[in-house]
């Protein structure tokens, strides 16, 4: 039995675009391709896709996955290596959670002990506004510049925004605010902008941006620069934590270089 690329996408949750990319890089060629160019997959390809998705869940890179599946590397050795990484990440996140707990306790108490530890004295203050963008209106000049520079992206974004109801718009804004607080907590804990956990959060941010338009590396870096350079964007981010705009700009820049270039 064979399944079309649309069938496989529906069953697996992997987009057709991703499946075509896997074919192009030789990671998951289809069983055969019809004269129309449509790809078809059989059971062996579905089993291989299952293994790919498992290793992606373990944050194994595509090249490493292909090497393991094609017998160029020992699959167990690859999985053991990434199991060790996961354990290390679990320990790091535990440390981060304790740091954030101290931050929350400090903010809730409203004061810091003068005899406290050095890291407590230097703690970044994190505010928790209900909605980062409440009452915020785009700068007409910035909007015109964006429209002139990225006309297709501007139109795509405008249509997506207009399709939002007041309720979904408010919910989206609250989600954005919650994410910015998570970035602020990373910053408060001293986590580097290039840390895998921070970059995973940036990936969530990028995917959310793609709900409205799909920026390439240059455009995403431009958006990051706007966050830090435009006074009103900067004011909103720094209302959560001083320096958050620059931290976010740096994290987005690293993501653009590594994932979008």
So where are the chain's domains?
3-69, 77-123, 127-260
Looking at the structure, give the CATH architecture of the domain made up of residues 127-260: Orthogonal Bundle (1.10)
Q: How high is the pLDDT of residue 31?
A: 95
Between 103 and 207, where is the model more confident? 207
User: Could you give the dihedral angle defined by the CA atoms of residues 141, 224, 151 and 169, in that order, rounded to the nearest 10 degrees?
Assistant: -80
Q: How confident is the model at residue 128 (pLDDT cuts 50, 70, 90)?
A: low
- pLDDT-derived band at 172 (thresholds 50, 70, 90) equals confident
Instruction: Say whether pLDDT at 258 is over 90.
Output: yes
pLDDT surpasses 80 at 237: yes
More confident residue, 23 or 85: 23
Question: Rounded CA gap, 125 and 104, in Å?
Answer: 9
- Its sign, for the CA torsion 96, 78, 22, 57, is negative
Q: Is residue 114 pLDDT above 50, yes or no?
A: no
Identify the burial level of 231 via C-beta atoms within 10 angstroms of its C-beta, where 0-12 means exposed, 13-18 middle and 19 or more buried. exposed
List the single range of 42-46, 86-90, 132-136 with lowest mean pLDDT.
Answer: 132-136
Residue 70 DSSP SS3: coil
Q: When comparing pLDDT for 112 and 2, which is higher? A: 2
| pLDDT higher than threshold 90 for residue 194 | yes
Q: What is the mean pLDDT of residues 63-80?
A: 75
Q: How far is residue 155's CA from residue 161's CA, in Å, rounded to a whole number?
A: 10
Tell me: pLDDT of 190 over 70: yes
Least confident of 11-15, 94-98, 192-196, 217-221: 94-98
Question: How far apart, in whole angstroms, are the C-alpha atoms of residue 94 and residue 78?
Answer: 25
Q: Confidence class of residue 118 from pLDDT cuts 50, 70 and 90?
A: very low
Residue 39 backbone phi and psi in degrees, to 5: -90, 145
Q: For residue 120, what pLDDT is reported?
A: 38
Task: Give the integer Cα–Cα distance in Å for 225 and 229.
Answer: 6
Tell me whether the CATH fold assigned to 3-69 matches the one assigned to 127-260.
Answer: no
pLDDT confidence of residue 116: 46
Higher local confidence (pLDDT), 40 or 142? 40
Question: Residue 196: pLDDT above 60?
Answer: yes
Over range 78-94, report the average pLDDT. Answer: 73
Q: How far is CA 252 from the centre of its chain?
A: 9
pLDDT tens figures, 15-67: 999 999 999 999 999 999 999 899 999 999 998 998 888 888 777 788 888 88
Contact 184, 244 (CB under 8 A): yes
Residue 134: pLDDT band (50, 70, 90) is very low
In the predicted structure, residue 260 carries a pLDDT above the cut 70: yes
Its CATH class, for the domain covering 3-69, is mainly alpha
**Average pLDDT, integer, range 218-227:** 89
Element (H, E) at 196: helix 196-209
Are the beta carbons of 215 and 223 closer than 8 angstroms? yes
Higher pLDDT, 143 or 94: 94
């Amino acid at each position: 039995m064979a399944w079309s690329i649309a069938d496989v996408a529906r069953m697996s949750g992997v987009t057709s675009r991703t499946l075509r990319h896997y074919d192009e890089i030789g990671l998951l060629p289809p069983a055969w391709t019809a004269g129309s160019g449509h790809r078809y997959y059989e059971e062996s390809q579905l089993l291989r896709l299952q293994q790919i998705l498992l290793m992606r869940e373990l944050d194994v890179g595509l090249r490493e996955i292909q090497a393991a599946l094609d017998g160029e590397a020992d699959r167990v050795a690859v999985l053991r290596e990434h199991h060790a990484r996961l354990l290390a990440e679990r320990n790091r996140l535990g440390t981060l959670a304790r740091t954030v707990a101290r931050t929350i306790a400090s903010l809730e108490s409203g004061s810091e002990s003068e005899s406290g530890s050095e890291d407590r004295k230097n703690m970044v203050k994190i505010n928790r506004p209900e909605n980062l963008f409440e009452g915020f209106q785009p700068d007409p000049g910035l909007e015109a510049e964006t429209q002139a520079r990225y006309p297709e992206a501007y139109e795509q974004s405008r249509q997506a925004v207009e399709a939002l109801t007041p309720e979904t718009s408010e919910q989206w804004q609250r989600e954005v605010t919650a994410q910015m607080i998570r970035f602020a907590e990373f910053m408060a804990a001293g986590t580097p902008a290039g840390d895998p956990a921070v970059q995973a959060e940036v990936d969530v941010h990028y995917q959310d941006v793609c709900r409205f338009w799909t920026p390439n590396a240059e455009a995403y870096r431009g958006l990051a620069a706007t966050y830090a350079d435009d006074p009103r964007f900067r004011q909103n981010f720094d209302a959560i934590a001083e320096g958050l705009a620059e931290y976010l700009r740096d994290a987005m820049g690293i993501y653009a270089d590594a994932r979008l270039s």
